[in-house]
Chain A
Amino acid sequence: MVAESEQYLSAGLSKVAVSETHGEDSPYFAGWKAYDENPYDELRNSDGVIQMGLAENQVSFDLVEKYLEKHSANIGKEASSFRENALFQDYHGLKSFRKAMASFMEQIRGGRAKFDPDKIVITAGATAANELLTFILADPGDALLIPTPYYPGFDRDLRWRTGVNIIPIHCKSTNNFEITQESLESAYNEAETKNIKVRGVLITNPSNPLGATITRPVLEGILEFVTRKNIHLVSDEIYSGSAFSCDEFVSISEILEARKYQEYSQRVHIIYSLSKDLGLPGFRVGTIYSYNDHVVKTARRMSSFSLISSQTQHLLASMLSDRQFTETYIKTNRERLRKRQQMIVSRLENSGIKCLKGNAGLFCWMDLSPLLEECTKEQELDLWKLILHEVKLNISPGSSCHCSEPGWFRVCFANMSEPTLEVALKRIHVFMSSRKLNS
């Protein structure tokens, strides 16, 4: 207590700095720590913790490497344009890069929607994009409605420095966690009772952690809802290229295109990034796509705090404007992810574990509620700790994703080699078999 008051006595830090909204005390991150301390390695540490809590895409890296090896002579011969590139700090971003991103986004949507490069705002990763958009759409104290379960990082990205609240739209397993009109209305009313102004709905499509795309009717319903309430709709589509088949993913941009945009588009904003689809999280490549000119203008100005390195823009402009590369990549990546997911889901089933039916993403949503004596958050966390320390797998407990039903876990499958996945699946099988014996 003394320490706390001392903090404010003299040149303390800000309230933001001392708050815990950075979220790092959540189990989502505790598991990472356990992994960091004892990481699995095929040869050197076969007893270590296997990281299944990190949504990264490493299944298609070889395609990117091959591309670079083939074209490196050309990309690398950059010394002549080095000067221009090194000096380029324009927050509009490289035109060639924006064109390439627009084209890539169109290809992912099978050409069913068009993207205007001048509506693309560049940011250092989706993390920056999400925060930036929140600053623009909401005032401190306002709220965004977000369907549960959702990406744990949203608690920090959308709330920490912005002062904006998240009000959950509770989704249930009984209807596969679909977002219903009732759940939307219920969340909106909750805000009203608390005297909190709702500024928008934020959806992740394909969903993290569900690993499933949102269907067309549900998207239409959400668009109707936000229009009725006169609020914004943010669609985080960073996993759009990770849908297992092109046709199964419906983007909000397609819905707008079908409605000929009209008055609907002004309230819609899309977040994209190359961290998941292309497996390049280190490059910090995020974008905001907005149909609202004022949002584009303001976002562009605000992006000054988190621009993409011009070096990286330049590299990606080359890569993503190569249609041969992008078409092959998108197709192959989808196929590989589908195979991985099939492998893990069928093996889990053999071990007696059911997963939510998924068709996208780098993870599956696993139901371990039958293993809980009581369906409580505490028991879920106990089970999580058990799996972490005894089965030596770091998976993400549903409570860290704000799931309203205990017992669900997110399991990532694309951030490791197939042999490692095999080891993980074997461990799960042994664990489940021993539980059957003991019960």
Chain B
Amino acid sequence: MELKGSSNLSKLATSDDHGENSLYFEGWKAYDNDPFHPTRNRKGVIQMGLSENQLSLELIEDWIKKNPQASICTPEGVHAFKDIANFQDYHGLPRFRNAVAKLMGKVRGGRASFDPERIVMAGGATGASELLMFCLADRGDGFLVPSPCYPAFDRDLRWRTGVQLVHVECKSSNNFQLTKQSLENAYENARKANINVKGLIIANPSNPLGTTMDKATFKMLVNFINDKKIHLVCDEIYSATVFRGPKLVSVSEIIEEMDRCDRDLIHIVYSLSKDMGLPGFRVGIVYSYNDKVVSCARKMSSFGLISSQTQHFLACMLSDEEFVEEYLTESAVKLANQHDLFTRGLEEVGIKCLESNAGLYVWMDLRPLLKEATFEGEMDLWRVIISDVKLNVSPGSSFHCHEPGWFRVCFANMDIKTMRIALARIRKFVVRENDQVQQVKKQKKTSNLGHLTLSFSSQMYDETWVVSSPRMLSPQSPLLRAKT
């Protein structure tokens, strides 16, 4: 009777490509073990590693109360139950597709319009991105991904598809903007490694940066993919989280302005998990300008259709144009306020964030706090933040950032009281770190021991911040090991 443990399972099942051993998830575990609660556990870990939009859910709750007919479980809506429960057509409910197309147009301020016939359902953005990989690339092919990028791309784009990811390194020196050189470098790296690049996937607005691409950069990108004849997948799941100018420039707008763009190369991933705060409903959308891709994707959507109950509910809600306008406006205002509150609080203790106009998080620059400008230094700092400061933030290395010291911190999944507590903890931590640095400085002055070595990064900053002291190198972090 052989079958032991995982010995008789596929390579897929026994590999680590599910990605859950990443540090991105370690922080979640720390939170799960000791979750903050305003009354029951005020000393617990505050979850700032989960990119969720919880700020405007009561708007939806109010709408539901006023519109019981949108649910097939209410007396007002149950008459629709039979037809809805029976509806499994992978084209999706026409009203649902129409409503999503309209929403996407509204989110882009009417600067683009969407054809409901090109809307294909998927199991959340997770399912949508994977589906597109299956359609566009063979096992072993490559997709370029600008980094820093969403950690779960490693699983979503690669695990079952066998596609390889080649990162396009973006640098802090130009605010992590995509450049032609970085694209060419990445493409060349892929070529040298014998990887056949089939496309590029980019999140716009960016996760984790919280920035939107400017027109010039976008046009450069579209020209690049056209020249190389590779696909462009635009993950626009944060499109309605733009809370301040500049306005989002969607790929749907750009292609209208570019004659020589081959539209068969252009595909969009959308979802309601971030914009509307409904991750539980698993609403993923694939939108392609390529007819063959739409056709193939639709057939593949059988593996991740959206529950007809949910399609029906959303068709009702999203067809209420007045509500949608109100929601989009209020949500942006709430996000702006929460963002500003958080970034101001950080500024007060001298912590800078990348300037951003979108997203549910900020890209925080903690390079000045690193004892060493290395990924080990970043890991050490991260562990301290989790265990001492008790905040789950996400280390930049888990986003494949090539410079240590950056952290993504989510702000839209908590109320203001909790945020103030988080800021207070950060303040305390920074003050303590500064004190320690001052102590070290004093010590070194009086004891005349060796010389102060400055890390290269701290040379860029005000020296009152932090000074690196010589210390023992910790054992190589598993993340670094994996990278080399």
Contact = CB atoms under 8 A, between A and B. Distances in A.
A298 B127 CA distance: 16
B249 interface: no
A22 B85 CA distance: 25
A279 B306 contact: no
Nearest to B18: A301
A11 B198 contact: yes
B303 interface: yes
B18 A139 contact: no
A72 B74 contact: yes
A308 B160 contact: no
A24 B298 CA distance: 12
A392 to B, nearest CB: 22
Interface of A: 10-11, 13-17, 22, 24, 56, 58, 61, 64-65, 68-69, 72-73, 75-76, 78-79, 82-83, 85-89, 124-125, 127-128, 131, 135-140, 142, 156-157, 160-161, 163, 199, 227, 230-232, 262-264, 266-267, 275, 279-285, 292, 294-295, 298, 301-302, 304-312, 315
Given A13-B296, A78-B71, A307 B309 contact: no
Interface of B: 1-6, 8-13, 18, 20, 52, 54, 57-58, 60-61, 64-65, 68, 71-75, 77-78, 81-82, 84-88, 123-124, 126-127, 130, 134-139, 141, 155-156, 159-160, 198-199, 229-231, 262, 264-265, 273, 277-282, 292-293, 296, 299-300, 302-310, 313
Contacts of A79: 61, 64-65
B108 to A, nearest CB: 24
A301 B265 CA distance: 31
Nearest to A319: B73
A64 B85 contact: yes
A83 to B, nearest CB: 5
Nearest to A263: B1
14 contacts: A68-B78, A86-B280, A87-B52, A124-B305, A127-B302, A156-B302, A230-B3, A232-B3, A283-B309, A295-B9, A301-B20, A302-B159, A304-B155, A309-B310
Contacts of A292: 3
B10 A135 contact: yes
Instruction: Select the residue from B61, B156, B303 with max chain A CB neighbours within 10 A.
Output: B303
A16 B162 CA distance: 12
B123 A230 contact: no
B160 A161 contact: yes
Nearest to A134: B10
A52 B84 CA distance: 20
Contacts of B81: 64-65, 68
A48 B353 CA distance: 66
Contacts of A65: 78, 81-82
Q: Which 5 A-B residue pairings sit nearest by Cβ, starting from the closest? A: A282-B308, A310-B280, A76-B74, A263-B1, A309-B307
Contacts of B273: 89
Contacts of A315: 73, 309
A247 to B, nearest CB: 29
Given A86-B57, A87-B57, 7 more contacts: A17-B136, A87-B280, A161-B134, A230-B1, A281-B86, A304-B156, A309-B307
B126 A305 contact: yes
A301 to B, nearest CB: 4
A72 B75 contact: yes
Contacts of B292: 13, 17
A302 B262 CA distance: 34
B74 A127 contact: no
B285 to A, nearest CB: 14
Contacts of A82: 57, 60-61, 64
Contacts of B126: 304-305
Contact of B123 (A56, A69, A306, A312): A306
Contact of B139 (A76, A87, A140, A262): A140
B48 to A, nearest CB: 16
A275 B88 CA distance: 10
B426 to A, nearest CB: 25
Given A13-B293, A76-B74, A131-B303, A232 B8 contact: yes
Contact of B10 (A58, A139, A283): A139
Given A76-B74, A230-B2, A307 B282 contact: yes
Contacts of A310: 280-282
B85 A136 contact: no
A interface SS class: helix
A408 B199 CA distance: 47
Given A87-B280, A128-B304, A307-B282, A281 B2 contact: no
B282 A294 contact: no
Contact of A72 (B10, B73, B304, B308): B73
B240 to A, nearest CB: 16
Contacts of B12: 135-136, 139
Contact of B127 (A136, A137, A294, A306): A306
A189 B295 CA distance: 38
Contacts of A309: 280-282, 306-307, 309-310
Contacts of B60: 82, 86
B75 A73 contact: yes
A289 to B, nearest CB: 16
A15 B163 CA distance: 13
Nearest to A85: B280
B18 A311 contact: no
A282 B1 CA distance: 41
Instruction: Select the residue from A227, A283, A295 with max chain B CB neighbours within 10 A.
Output: A283
B199 A11 contact: yes
A125 B3 contact: no
A140 B6 CA distance: 17
Given A161-B134, A295-B13, A263 B78 contact: no
Contact of B310 (A24, A78, A312): A312
A16 B81 CA distance: 36
A22 B304 contact: no
A16 B307 contact: no
A199 B77 CA distance: 47
B264 A11 contact: yes
A311 B313 contact: yes
A17 B2 contact: no
A24 B60 CA distance: 39
A88 B52 CA distance: 11
A136 B265 contact: no
A17 B20 contact: no
A312 B312 CA distance: 12
A75 B73 contact: yes
Contacts of B198: 11, 14
Nearest to B226: A11
Nearest to A77: B74
B231 to A, nearest CB: 6
Contacts of B137: 14
A281 B84 CA distance: 9
Nearest to B87: A282
A307 B2 contact: no
Contact of A282 (B6, B75, B84, B304): B84
Given A68-B73, A137-B9, A24 B299 contact: yes
Instruction: Select the residue from B12, B52, B265, B273 with max chain A CB neighbours within 10 A.
Output: B12
A262 B3 CA distance: 12
Given A14-B137, A68-B73, A89-B279, A308 B307 contact: yes
A13 B135 contact: yes
B13 A284 contact: no
Nearest to B197: A11
Contacts of A262: 1
Contact of A281 (B6, B78, B88, B159): B88
Nearest to B152: A304
Contact of A266 (B3, B71, B231): B3
B138 A282 contact: no
Contacts of A78: 64, 71, 73
Nearest to B128: A305
Contacts of A160: 300
A312 B71 contact: no
A282 B61 contact: no
